[in-house]
Amino acid sequence: MIYLNIFLSEIYKILFLLIPVLVSVALIVWLDRRIWAFVQKRKGPNVVGPLGLFQTLSDALKYVFKEVIIPASANKTIFVLAPIITLTLALIGWAVIPFSDTMVLANINVGILYLFAVSSLGVYGIIMGGWASNSKYPFLGAIRSAAQMVSYEVSIGIIIINVLVCVGSLNLNQIVLAQQKVWFILPLFPMFVIFFISALAETNRPPFDLPEAESELVAGYQTEYSGMMYAMFWLGEYANILLLCALGSILFLGGWLSPFDIYPFNVLPGVFWLLIKILFLFILFSIVKAIVPRYRFDQLMRLGWKVFLPFSLVWLVLTASFLFFFDMLPKVSI
């Protein structure tokens, strides 16, 4: 009976985390469309529900009732598993995100490594979907996505090391608490810029949406998908975008910490400030999509391997040298 109670308690905690995340995904899709419309001087969703808020819900219902078509020549097992894996990996990363000093599902000491491992596995869903479709356009999209994710995960990894050198811990709570005096966006501003651009490439967002470039690959790795399986890819993509926005907020914007140590700002709950910072980064994601033209694939690879990688390595050496020279290296804790 004790073990059953513990099991049910953990299930409640997981649902308490996942349900708001899924609801947030629906809301940010609406926000995404409204921002694109605002930048391009259009109305955006404004008919279905007040201010078009129910437009995303109606789209979701459309996907639920649309027929799921599996190509006759596809590997059916892998074809079905691919979107499930993509959505699952996008959701389990939220387990270690601290919304306040006490509000976190799993406060593990290697939280940053957990997130890095989960995000690295995310490409498998896309590769599986592209390969299992047994079609040239999805396969080319999957190969592009694999090359793109590998390229920019290297840069993101080195950027995270820059932060870890300043903190001395892999725990996400400790990373936030280390920014009580100054947020890392100030001393590590170039790393924040590279992280933001790499996050765009990591999530296949414009201008780096080459794995699903409609002018070249129809819809890339998603070409043969329909109905709810297509929607799961879509949900996984937006959940992953929110996850990287949360990670960027924790690494560079002080996580749940208030920007002003004065009343009434310092009495607002930490989860409020974290959500505001996530929303700010997501708005930047949307604005970039609306105003920046798509890169060519060779330009994308050159940017990752010949610009971001050496620059982030040089900045890591400079950061470590500065901290060592002024005797500011933190005590390492794991």
pLDDT tens across 30-40, in order?
888 888 888 88
Instruction: State the pLDDT at residue 90.
Output: 85
Residues of the chain with pLDDT under 50: none
In Å, what is the CA distance from 103 to each residue of 3, 99, 100, 162, 316?
23, 5, 5, 26, 31
Task: Looking at the chain, list the stretches that DSSP marks H as alpha helix, in order from N- to C-terminal side.
Answer: 2-39, 55-65, 76-92, 111-132, 136-167, 172-177, 189-202, 214-217, 227-252, 270-291, 297-302, 309-325
Instruction: State the pLDDT at residue 3.
Output: 64
Instruction: State the pLDDT at residue 215.
Output: 64
Instruction: State the pLDDT at residue 225.
Output: 82
Rounded CA separation 30/120 (Å): 28
Instruction: State the pLDDT at residue 63.
Output: 81
Query: CA end-to-end span of the chain, whole Å?
Result: 34
Instruction: State the pLDDT at residue 280.
Output: 92
Any bridge partners for residue 169, and if so which?
333
Instruction: State the pLDDT at residue 202.
Output: 81
Copy the structure tokens of residue 194.
């590279």
Instruction: State the pLDDT at residue 291.
Output: 86
Return the ∠ at Cα 106 (arms to 100 and 109), rounded to 5°: 95
Instruction: Tell me the three state secondary structure of residue 97.
Output: coil
